Amino acid sequence: MSDAPPDVEVSPAVHRTAEDIGSMEIRGAATIAAAAAEALGEQADVSDADSPEAFRAELRAAARVLYDTRPTAVSLPNALRYVLRDVEGETVERLRASVRASVSEFCRRLDNAQTDLGRVGANRLRDGDTIMTHCHSTDVLACVETAVEQGKSLSAFVKETRPRNQGHITAEALDELGVDVTLIVDSAARRYLNDVDHVLVGADSIAADGSVINKIGTSGLAVNARDRGTPIVCAAQTIKLHPDTLTGHTVDIEMRDEREVVDRETAEGMGDPEVLNPAFDVTPPRYVDAIVTERGQFPPESIVSLMRDLFGEGTTEPWAEA
């Protein structure tokens, strides 16, 4: 994690949020986006900057601390951009109020987008369907929740999702919604795909070519689903669209600590292998049947048009300024 320059004060609340994102106490792309926006609001609330310039410098420094936590979910920089872009005012007080308004508006839009997306995704699900999930995605759960509210009865195979077992969170959430849940280890997915009507996954980023970047294991699941003829749908609010990919940039895949995978102290008879722990992978668009957003459902190859409408040809990085 990067530190702010010593003369610019970043609030402890921002550092706490950054630590929680880094340790995955706060996790999942939409939740990270909301937490990052709120943290900028907290920075504004506690700032004792004596000039608008100093206030803006603090905000940028806070955004840098948040930006440097995890590299793959583009919802994080998109959230920071949204909040920083709309900040206006000639005095510190006006700037503070402007940040608060911007954060509230951002969080309101995020919630609405998820609700709208849920309605679109629910239209794909029929009464009696069985889904398979990977990881824990609030966008996926929004689709299921709406379908259940519409009176549809659903079952789910929930992949455990090693190494952090986010599938357990999904299992609990689906159970609370009244979905009939079966938890399986990741390697059992193919065995049960014949019994599944839809594979539903979320996204941390979506690239301009329609590739879906999501929790490690998504691409293998998608290839297996295609082989079995099971449709695979990605539920992703437009905040997951990665604008830098419009200009040829690739999405950085986070590599996490090996201790999430293995405890060398207790593992016996393993030797001393290198351990790799990539947190995400890339599913090419040909393995994805549809991307469901709050703007409707898109074939992955057409997502670039939506991305251009929403982000133009590129973006700025306001937090990178000193």
Ligand X SMILES: O=C(COP(=O)(O)O)[C@H](O)[C@H](O)COP(=O)(O)O
Q: Which residues are catalytic?
A: 135, 204
Asked if 74 is part of the footprint of ligand X (rule: CB under 6 A), the reply reads no
Q: For residue 84, report the phi and psi dihedrals to the nearest 5 degrees.
A: -70, -35
DSSP secondary structure of 149-209 = HTT---EEEEE--TTTTHHHHHHHHHHHHT-EEEEE-GGGHHHHGGG-SEEEE--SEE-TT
Q: Any residues with CB less than 8 A from the CB of 263 and at least 6 apart, and which?
A: none
Give the integer Cα–Cα distance in Å for 199 and 25.
Answer: 26
Question: In which residue are the tokens 């919802």 written?
Answer: 75
Shortest CB 96 distance to ligand X, Å:
29
Binders of ligand X among residues 250 to 289 (CB under 6 A) are: 279
User: Minimum distance from CB of 107 to ligand X (Å)?
Assistant: 14
CB of 200 to ligand X, least distance (A): 10
* Residue 206 contacts ligand X per CB under 6 A: no
Terminal CA-CA length for the chain = 17
130-133 and 155-159 strand pairing: parallel
User: Nearest approach, Cβ of 168 to ligand X (angstroms)?
Assistant: 12
The answer to whether 159 is annotated as binding is no
User: In the window 16-35, what residues touch ligand X (CB under 6 A)?
Assistant: 24, 27-31
CB of 68 to ligand X, least distance (A): 16
219 binds ligand X (CB under 6 A): no
- Binding of ligand X by 84 (CB under 6 A): no
Site string for ligand X, 140-169 (x = CB under 6 A): --------------------------x---
Q: Provide CB contacts within 8 A for 302, sequence distance 6+.
A: 210
> Is 156 annotated among the ligand-binding residues?
no
* Minimum CB distance to ligand X smaller for 43 or for 138: 138
Contacting residue, 41, 77, 118, 202, with ligand X by CB under 6 A:
202
Which residues in the 104-123 window bind ligand X by CB under 6 A? none
Taking the C-alpha atoms of residue 145 and residue 212, their distance in angstroms, rounded to an integer, is 23
d(CA 271, CA 265): 12
- Specify whether the CB–CB gap between 63 and 105 falls below 8 A: no
Using CB under 6 A, which of the segments 132-140, 173-181, 268-276, 290-298 binds ligand X?
132-140
- How many helices and strands (H and E) does the chain possess? 10, 10
Q: Does 242 bind ligand X (CB under 6 A)?
A: no
What six digits make up the tokens of 267? 């593992």
27 is in an annotated binding site: yes
Residue 278 CB neighbours (<10 A): 12
Among 34, 61, 73, 207, binds ligand X (CB under 6 A): 73
- Was 44 annotated as part of a binding site? no
Contact call for residue 293 and ligand X (CB under 6 A): no
Give me the residues that bind ligand X (CB under 6 A), please: 24, 27-31, 73, 135, 137-139, 166, 202-204, 214-215, 279
* Residues of each annotated binding site for substrate: 27-30, 70, 214-215, 240
* Residues of each annotated binding site: 27-30, 70, 214-215, 240
